[in-house]
Structure 1
Amino acid sequence: MMLILPIDHVIIPVADLAATGAAFEAAGFVVTPEARHSAAMGTANRCIMFDRTYIELMGVVEETSANLPWRRAIKHGSGMGGLAFSTSNIQVTANDFKARCIRTEALRHFSRQTNEGELRFSVIRIDPSETPGFQCLVCEHHTRELLWRPELLRHPNSVTSIEAIFLPSVEGLGRFGQQEGVAVMQGNSGLRLRGSRSASYDLTSSCDITIEVIAP
Structure 2
Amino acid sequence: MSAPRGIDHLVLPVCDLDAARATYSGLGFTCTPEAFHPFGTKNFLVQLQGAFLEVLAVHDRGLYPPQGPEDFSFPRFNDGFLARLGEGFSMLVMDSRDPGADRASFLDAGLKVHAPFSFGRDAVLPDGSSARVGFDLTFVSDPGLPDCGFFTCRQQHTPELFWKPDYQRHANTAHSVRSVVLAG
Q: How many residues align?
A: 164
**What is aligned with 1:206?**
none
Alpha-carbon deviations, 1:108-143, whole Å to 9, x = none?
101111233011001111125253321111111112
TM-score by length of 2: 0.83
Distance 2:123 2:16 in 1: 20
* Equivalent residue in structure 2 for 1:141, among 155, 159, 162: 155
Q: Counterpart of 1:103?
A: 112
The one-letter amino acid of 2:21's match is G
Distance 2:111 2:160 in 1: 31
Question: 1:52 is matched with which residue?
Answer: 50
Alpha-carbon separation, structure 2, partners of 1:8 and 1:141: 10
Distance 2:5 2:90 in 1: 16
Gaps of 5+ in 2: 68-72, 125-129
Question: What amino acid is aligned across from residue 179 of structure 2 in structure 1?
Answer: A
Task: Assess if the C-alpha contact under 8 Å between 1:102 and 1:130 holds in 2.
Answer: no
Q: CA deviation at 1:101?
A: 2.2
Q: Name the CA distance, whole Å, in 1 between partners of 2:20 and 2:183.
A: 21
Where in structure 2 are the equivalents of 1:79-158 lying within 5 Å?
Answer: 79-115=88-124, 116-129=130-143, 131-143=145-157, 144-158=159-173
- Which whole-Å CA distance do the structure 1 matches of 2:144 and 2:101 have between them? 19
* Identity %, equivalent residues: 24
Q: CA deviation at 1:104?
A: 1.5
User: Matched residue of 1:73: which SS?
Assistant: helix
| Counterpart Cα distance in 1 of 2:154 and 2:144 | 20
Please give the alpha-carbon distance, in whole angstroms, between the structure 2 residues aligned to 1:79 and 1:33.
21
Q: Which residue of 1 aligns with 2:9?
A: 9
Q: Which runs of 5+ in 1 are unaligned?
A: 170-216
RMSD: 1.6
Alpha-carbon distance between aligned partners in 1 of 2:160 and 2:22, rounded to the nearest angstrom? 25
Displacement of 1:168: 2.9
The 8 Å contact of residues 109 and 121 in structure 1, kept in 2 or not, is answered as: yes
